[in-house]
Amino acid sequence: MSRLIVKGLPSAYTEAKLRVVFEKYGQLTDCSLKYTKDGKFRRFAFVGFGDEHNAKRALSDLNNTFINASRIQVEECKPFGDETKPRAWSKYAKDSSAYKRAHPEEANEKSKKIKFDDTPMNKKKKLEHRDEKFIEFLQVQNKTSLIRPDEEDDGIDEEDLMSKLLEGISGDTSLSLTLRGLPTSIKQKSLKEWLSPIRVKGIKITRSTKEAAAFITF
């Protein structure tokens, strides 16, 4: 530890004054006050010592003392990403709660980006990107055994396939997908794996003697 962070400095403080305070403990390698982009002092600074022992003495003596009417906090300056590093406190630090309260529009924008993945249009695009993979998927499925599973195995004629599939379906079907020409051995699990990571609410499968069809809701 040879570099310190000094918080809570008076708003009108200067680098020259800060140097006077810390140079009593040894030679400084750097001393820098931090400002916003528009030049407003953020009331904290970094102070570096050439000797670690001097930095520790300064921290011990000056932490929680007063400069003018302001109580200052002097802490060890830890590397970025250090797990023991205190959470951001300044209202100018983007990861601080004060900054987030002052800039709710940024939090909303981030939330919108997350929600965008669940919009109907984006789901449709994801499905379109799977076209080529789905063709490969069907080719693999068609090479497997055509023994039909017991579940949802109606064995109906081809002309009745779609009417049987859509039987009993009502309400809003805007977030749905109908697939035909599937192998009769197709299972719900296989369709869910193909659609992953898109969240599927329900799958209904009907089968004829030669093909299967599926109605999928999101």
Each residue of 10-45: b (16+ CB within 10 Å) or e? Answer: eeebeeeebeebbeebbebeebebeeeeeeebbbbb
Same fold, 3-76 and 157-217: yes
pLDDT of residue 130: 54
Whole-prediction pTM? 0.41
pLDDT tens-digit map of 183-216: 888 888 888 888 888 888 888 998 888 888 898 8
CATH class of 3-76: alpha beta
Annotated domain spans of the chain: 3-76, 157-217
> Of residues 80 and 165, which shows the higher confidence score?
165
Predicted confidence (pLDDT) at residue 126 exceeds the cutoff of 90: no
For residue 205, how far is the Cα from the chain centroid? 35
CATH of 157-217, one of 3.30.70, 1.10.287, 2.30.30, 1.10.3470: 3.30.70
Predicted confidence (pLDDT) at residue 150 exceeds the cutoff of 70: no
